[in-house]
Amino acid sequence: MACPRLSYSVALCLALSFSARATARAQAPNEAWRTIETPHFFVHFPRALEPMARRAGGSAERAYGALAPLLRPPRGRIDLVVTDHVDYSNGFAYVSPSPRIVVFARPPVDDRTLRFRDDWLDLVIQHELVHVFHLDRTRGWWRVAQVVFGRQPMLFPNAWAPSWLLEGLAVYYESKLGDGGRLEGMAHQQYVNARALDGTVPKLGAWSRATLDFPGGTNAYVFGSLFVQSMAGRASGGVEKFVERSSGRFNPWAFDGDARRTFGVSFSEQWTTWRDSVVRAVGAGPGGAGPASGGRALTSARWLVRLPRLAPDGRLLYVASNGRDVGGLYELPAGLDAVPRRIARRNSLDANVALADGRVLFGQNEYEDPWRLRSDLWVREADGREHALTHGARLFAIDASARTGAIVAVQNVPGTTRLVRVGADGAVTPLTSAHPDTNWSAPRWSHDGTRVAATRWVRGGTMSIMLIAAATGATRTLAAARGVLDNPSWTMDDQAVLFAVNVDGVSRLWSVDVAGGTLRAGAAAVTAVDVPEATAQGVVAIETRGAGERLIVEPAPSTPSTLAGIADSQNEPPAEPAAGTVQPYRPLRQLVPRYWLPSIETTDENNVRYGASISSSDIVDRHFYAATYEREPTRGENTGSVVYRWAGFGQPLVDLAYRQTWDHTPLADSAQAVVGTLGRRRRFIGSQLTVIRQRVRTSALLAGSAELELRDFVTDPAPLLGALGSPLLLRTLKYPTFSLYAGWGNTRRPILALGPEDGISLAAQARWRWRTDDAAATRSATYIGSASAFRSLGFIAGPAHHVVALHGVVGMADDKTNTELQAGGTSGSSVELAPGVMVGDVRRTFQVRGFAPGAQRGIRALGGSAEYRAPLAMPNWGARFVPFFAQRVSATLFADAGAAWCPAGSARGVGCVRGPTTREWMASVGGELVMDAAVLNYDVPYRLRVGWARPVSGSAYAEKPDGAVYFSLGAGF
């Protein structure tokens, strides 16, 4: 997000852009960060994570050694961050301004595609390191360009690859170089089988992270990894040769040609072969075209379904996110033969457990601050009120005994998980120990409340279904294998434990007798069948299909079987921990500028101005800066800006800025002949403090900024300055400004939503400016307030909700102001296609589509818009290797109205050039065709709008009274 200079109108832009960076990267900049050096890495970590950071350093060095003989190593040492500020699993990498990797210190115990792993830390580091090796490799004219411009993000040829190729390569190598990768775990194959089973295998260009097809961005990993694996089988060492060849290609999108020269077949040709093989394999596989044998569907397949739990009264509770709505709690009544009913909203899809007294216990995520997201135990009372029972306890996978009320849960601890008991007062007591080579998950109470069944993973990939005695804590292994054994639950009589198994690429539900240890297998399925729950009607489970997940019910496992695991081909011991000395975190090295961008602009006199810009930040986002410099050689004038952001306090965020501009006014004599030019230099020195209150369901922001404007004047020729006769032009004028901004919002945004839904957003801003050059006009003030409301129409069918949106804004300033309130024009956003080449609109406070920008001006302004937004299609279509991905298409009908004027008694001035003016309403109606599409990349969608607006009032101010077509980017509000 690009923001203009510090002022009252951009406080939200600055704060939200930083908040987005902070919450997305999840490094807390106010931590006590430390650093350990290894031969190829700087490992950064919070003080409490030193043991894990040393382990990560050793793992990274081993991964580097395994990858270096295959791919060309990156240039320079790599920054590696180990952080534990969010309660979910992730990692990411990037190579500009320097090679960097971030790893979240939470094992992926609840990620279906990552349940099989030898060591989760080895896996994620290996995966992200592949990205660094792959993206950093640059040859040919790209390397020449980097010699000139540095590590500019657009000058890495492999960064132009679609996400399925980037992630497919990384998953391929994570599986090739170590046991336990996602290809060996075979969960990806089950997603592909589900799409093939329903005849919805997406085309090659549709594997974008921006896709709205199930399972969303995971498609890039699923299809990319299996497809790259199929290509690798065509030529020995072909993947390495392809990476090297593609690192120097002239055309950044010529992937098919590189593939044909490397593998003997293009990606496009191989896709047809691979798709046909998948479809054939599914047709010949077990399970036929339905779920497991004897099963029947209880719900339709829509996006995500999680963790069915039987309530004491026979109802079945489960959590789901169907795409149209935000995640929520649903129920099927006893008998499981009715339409599901939504009960409540949920922040996360964790287990909900009904107690006999009518309460429901559940785990849910909530922000502590913009960087820390924690999961806790919550309670829904019988009357519907909900509250947190724990705070910062990091609990999930909750279960409670219906008989005793005892609570068990999984607790995140740095680098691993453990089982804990939770008291009625929220007190947490460990039930198992915490060790980095052992992860616990999915605990379930027996119906009699005496035992807990749970999943245990140990390094090497062995998963076990464990039995824990509640009274003594003694453990016993019920079943174990190197593979996926997960999500145990008890049969109705507590005689056996049900669980899900995938050890050979085929998904089955199994059971094990608690007393005798007899194993029984259920019917096989070509797609995933998971999370069994015993009911009177049979075993309820979650089945994956092409459109999403659904609940099915099938017979209990009945065929006596033996359980064989996946063979272990390497069985590597843990890497030696990094032994470097702990040092204070020093970000200066990261902040040295690594690239620059040239710029060419025209001035207000149509002269050419040349310049450059630089920017950088450190890996924990404590520091950020950007600077521009431009020179106009004809007059020798310099313009530019410097912005610096400090987040080391956590809250508030501190911004400092300096900017210099020039503008020019022709000077004429009494005969109106131009005799010279008056040049005005304006310098702005500003600072801003921003406080953000981030929550899952609401967000709030408060920002205050102070700015000093300095004005100097020159003339060409120089003697004209004195001849103008104004003493103000002979000295530096000073204009201090102070601004406040406050905002709050609670809108929702489901997966498939067109935009904000079902909530409101409020904003208020005030600006006070002092004029030190005029004692009679010491201060001016401007106030603006706005409100937006959004309501979804859930009764209208379709892939996404139809939405009614309303927006209103009011502004006022006194007649001493140095700016105007302007009404008219189309509001939107802009994109810089190339240095100095902008496309789109600016954000307009008082938009009235169909009228010229600033058609009316004054010190009072009103504006309002009403929109009806309707989904038309979700094509999820990509043009193979052309960087364009059409995500969704919608239509908007709108009505705008606005006016700006100077009320009676207004003095002439900057805000009221003509003195008092009459309020005349401008109004228009029209429609827009809206496409959300990834343009110039494959994964980040931009909103493209083509509209037609017809003025219905105030046509004298209209650009075209009979209506006009316009193009814009972004949303109007």
Q: How far apart are CA 394 and CA 391, in angstroms?
A: 8
Per the CB < 8 A criterion, the answer to whether 394 and 411 are in contact is: yes
Residue 33 to residues 49, 648, 654, 677, 843: CA-CA distances in angstroms?
10, 11, 19, 55, 38
HSE at residue 764, side-chain half, CA atoms within 13 A, is 1
Nearest residue to 621 via CA among 25, 9, 14, 77:
25
Instruction: State the Cα–Cα distance between residues 281 and 293, nearest whole angstrom.
Output: 18
Q: Distance between CA atoms of 410 and 408, rounded to whole angstroms?
A: 7
Q: In what order do the strands lie in the sheet with 41-46?
A: 91-94, 100-104, 78-83, 41-46, 33-37, 583-584
Token digits of residue 966: 């316009």
- Residue 566's pLDDT is 86
How far apart CA 743 and CA 79 sit, in angstroms, is 36
Residue type, position 655, single letter: D
Q: Is the dihedral of CA 580, 586, 592, 594 positive or negative?
A: positive
pLDDT < 50: residue spans in the chain: 1-24, 285-294
Tell which residue, 917, 909, 938, has the closest CA to residue 823: 917
Look at residue 288 in the predicted model and tell me its pLDDT. Answer: 41
pLDDT at position 20 = 34
> Pairing mode, if any, of strands 41-46 and 78-83?
parallel
Looking up tokens 């369901």, which residue turns up?
Answer: 697
Q: Are 253 and 882 in contact (CB under 8 A)?
A: yes
CA 268/CA 734 separation, integer angstroms = 64
Instruction: With CA atoms as reference, report the closest residue to 790 among 777, 775, 806.
Output: 806
931-961 pLDDT per residue, tens: 999 887 778 889 999 999 999 999 899 989 9
Cβ neighbour number for residue 797 with a 10 Å cutoff: 7
- Whose CA is closest to 130, among 167, 90, 178? 167
Q: Which two tokens stand for residue 184?
A: 């060996």
